[in-house]
Amino acid sequence: MRLGTRATEKKTRGLGLVYQPKYLDRETGERKTAATWWIQFYVRGVRYRESSRSTNRADAVRLLKHRLSEAAAGKPVGPQVERTTFEDLVRILLDNYRANERRSLRRVEGGVKHLREFFGDYRAVDITEDRINAYVVHRKQQEAANATINRELAALKRAFRLASRKVGQPPRFQMLRESNTRKGFFEPEQFRAVLKHLPETLKPVFQVAYLTGWRVPSEILTRRWQHVDFESNWLRLEPGETKNEDGRMFPLIPELREVLAVQRERTRQLELATERVIPWVFHREGKPIKDFYTGWDKACRLAGYPDRVAHDLRRTAVRNLERAGVSRSAAMRMTGHKTESIYRRYAIVDEAMLREGAEKLAAFHSLRKNAPRKVVPLTTRKNET
C-alpha cells in the first residue's frame, strides 16, 4: 500500500494526488521513500495510478494535469491506453475472428494489410478522426472503391470496440457513401470464354456457381458427396453451413446433374487408382480446393474480362432466374437470399431484359391495334335506348 505526504494530499485534494511511494527494503528491513514521483486520480469512480518516470515533482504535477484534462474531454486515460498500439488492436481483432471461426476472416486480413501500411507504427490514442480521414484520402488516391474502404474502416472500428477496456472510447468513424447497385454479370458466351481457360479441376466448380448462384468458397467447395442426392435430384446445404444459418436445396436441373455426374465418375476413377475414399465433390487429386482466385483471375484475364470476380456468377444466376420467370420466393430459397431487398440488388435489369420487355410491350399494343372492332348498327343502339 503506497503512502503520500500529508502536505501533498491537502494541496491536491479533489484534483488528484502526486506522491512518492514508500517501500520496505528487503535487505535492511528499513522503510524507504522511492525517488520516482507517481500520480493518482479518479475517473467515474475508477482509480488510476501511474508513474511519472521522473524524480522531479513538477513533472508529476504536469502529468497529473494532463491526465485530468484528458478525462474532462472524455478521452481514455491511464498508462495502459498509452501503451496500446495498432498492432495490439489487430491482434485482438484477428484473435476474435479466429476464435469465433468467422467466415469473413480472409477479407478482414486483407483489410488489415492496407490499414497496417498506414497505421503500422501508431499508438491507439494517435488514431484520431483526423488520421482516419487522412487514411480515407490515402486509399482514394490508390483508387480503392468506397465499399472497400468502408470494409477496412469497419474492421478498425470493431478492433477499437473489442479493445475498449484498453483504449476507452473509440474515435469517430465517418463511413463513405457507397452504391448498392451491382453491375457485374456474365452473358452465356462470356462465361464459356472464361470456362475455356480455367484449370480442369476448377471448371466444374464455376459451372455449378453459374447455375446455382451459390457462394464458391463457403457453399460449393465445401460440398461432400453426401450432399448430392442423385436419386431425389437435390444439391443440399445443411443448416448452419450458410451465411444466414439456414439450410438450402437446389434442384438438379439437367445441366447441373450432368456436371455433377461427370465429377462423380472422375472421383470414382481417382478413388480406384489411389485406393482411398474421397468425400469432396470438388478437389485437387483428392484434396480440398483452398485457393481458386489465381486460376479464376488468370482465366478472366485471358478471356478478356480482367475486372470480373467470382461473385459475379451469383448475380448472373439471380438474373437468369428472373429471366426464366421463376417466382421471386422460390428463387430466393434457391440462391439463399433471406430478404427481398438484398435479392433485388442482384436482380439486375440489363439492356437485353429491357429489349425483351420492349418487344412484349410492342406486341401487346400491336394486338390491341389490329384487334377487330365490334360495329353496332345505329338502329340497334336506338332500339336499346
Mean pLDDT of the chain: 83
Q: What are the residue ranges of helices labelled H in the chain?
A: 6-12, 57-72, 79-83, 86-99, 105-119, 129-141, 146-162, 164-167, 188-197, 203-212, 254-274, 293-303, 312-324, 328-335, 340-346, 351-370, 378-384
| Residues 112 and 214 occupy one common structural domain | no
pLDDT value, residue 70: 74
Q: Does residue 352 lie within any of the structural domains?
A: no
| Residues 246 and 295 occupy one common structural domain | yes
Mean pLDDT value across residues 33-56: 85
Q: What are the residue ranges of helices labelled H in 223-327?
A: 254-274, 293-303, 312-324
Q: Which three cell numbers stand for residue 131?
A: 488520421
Q: Does residue 353 lie within any of the structural domains?
A: no
DSSP, collapsed to helix, strand or coil, labels residue 23 as strand
Q: Which CATH number is 228's domain given?
A: 1.10.443.10
| Residues 94 and 197 occupy one common structural domain | no
| Residues 192 and 139 occupy one common structural domain | no
pLDDT at 357 > cutoff 80:
no
> pLDDT band at 166, cuts 50/70/90?
confident
| Residues 215 and 331 occupy one common structural domain | yes
pLDDT value, residue 105: 86
Mean pLDDT value across residues 173-178: 87
Structural domain count, the chain: 3
Chain centroid offset of residue 21 CA = 50
Highest mean pLDDT among 89-98, 100-109, 365-374: 89-98
pLDDT value, residue 226: 95
| Residues 149 and 11 occupy one common structural domain | no
DSSP, collapsed to helix, strand or coil, labels residue 18 as strand
Range of the domain at 55: 6-75
Residues, the chain: 385
**pTM of the entire structure?**
0.56
pLDDT tens for each residue of 110-144? 999 999 999 998 988 889 899 999 999 999 999 88
| Residues 130 and 247 occupy one common structural domain | no
Rounded Cα distance between 93 and 84, Å, is 13
Rounded Cα distance between 331 and 311, Å, is 17
Instruction: Lowest mean pLDDT of 253-267, 313-327, 354-368, name the range.
Output: 354-368
pLDDT tens for each residue of 55-71? 999 998 988 888 888 77
| Residues 213 and 240 occupy one common structural domain | yes
Mean pLDDT value across residues 174-179: 83
Instruction: Lowest mean pLDDT of 44-48, 176-180, 283-287, 330-334, name the range.
Output: 176-180
| Residues 205 and 133 occupy one common structural domain | no
| Residues 27 and 134 occupy one common structural domain | no
pLDDT at 218 > cutoff 50:
yes
Q: What are the residue ranges of helices labelled H in 142-238?
A: 146-162, 164-167, 188-197, 203-212
pLDDT at 43 > cutoff 90:
no
Q: Does residue 330 lie within any of the structural domains?
A: yes
pLDDT value, residue 12: 44
| Residues 338 and 194 occupy one common structural domain | yes
pLDDT tens for each residue of 308-344? 889 899 888 888 888 888 887 888 888 877 666 556 6
Q: Which of 346, 362, 378 delimits the end of a domain?
A: 346
Q: Does residue 359 lie within any of the structural domains?
A: no
